[in-house]
Structure 1
């Protein structure tokens, strides 16, 4: 007998979310003159992209425009300690978005 694990966000779904978030980051960085920066799952917002708080606010707006209220970036950030925010990676945000979308689909 074969048992299956509950389906999490598929790899294709994560890739699509990564592409969406990368595009959003590009929009934010374009405003700062840092466009063309390579973005991947291990890219850190503060250290690698030099995001400041206003950049995170702008990103939050893009996330809401794309995903609606299913993804609450402010609540996600509020759940973290300062060190976690400083080390926040694109991959962690991708996983958060994927989980939020999965929860919204299940509701």
Structure 2
């Protein structure tokens, strides 16, 4: 993951999924889990078995890549506990795409 890489002109589900997949692979490599398949329906808790500290690390990676336009803590703060437990990569991707487009329009 190269945070200096320019952002796509129009963020799409595919480009953001690729970015988030790279971030997750970086995170999971620390646990020796580099063969995990990541897709839109992948859950952070059940499938990837990420801990809360891993989400903090992911938040930092998201901020490195997208700046303040994407705030994972704020996104999670608006959820109920069950929603966080069942959070999918796809839902995060949707949030990131929405956030990037909202700041472009704003």
For normalisation by structure 1, the TM-score amounts to 0.88
The aligned counterpart of 2:99 is 100
- Between the aligned partners of 1:42 and 1:74, the Cα distance in structure 2 is 21
Task: Please list, as runs of the form range in 1=range in 2, the aligned pairs for 1:20-59 lying within 5 A after superposition.
Answer: 20-59=19-58
Offset, 1:36 = 1.3
- Between the aligned partners of 2:64 and 2:75, the Cα distance in structure 1 is 16
The aligned counterpart of 1:79 is 78
After superposing on structure 2, the runs of 4+ consecutive aligned residues of structure 1 that deviate more than 4 Å are none
- Match of 2:87, SS? coil
- Between the aligned partners of 2:40 and 2:59, the Cα distance in structure 1 is 18
- Match of 1:49, SS? coil
Q: Structure 1: 5+ residue runs without aligned partners?
A: 1-9
RMSD between aligned alpha carbons?
1.1
Q: What does the per-residue CA deviation read over 1:52-97, in whole Å, with 9 as the maximum and x for residues that have no partner? A: 0011001000000000000011000111111000000000000000
Structure number with bigger Rg:
1
Offset, 1:49 = 0.2
Offset, 1:16 = 0.3
The aligned counterpart of 2:3 is none
Q: Structure 2: 5+ residue runs without aligned partners?
A: 1-9
The aligned counterpart of 2:69 is 70
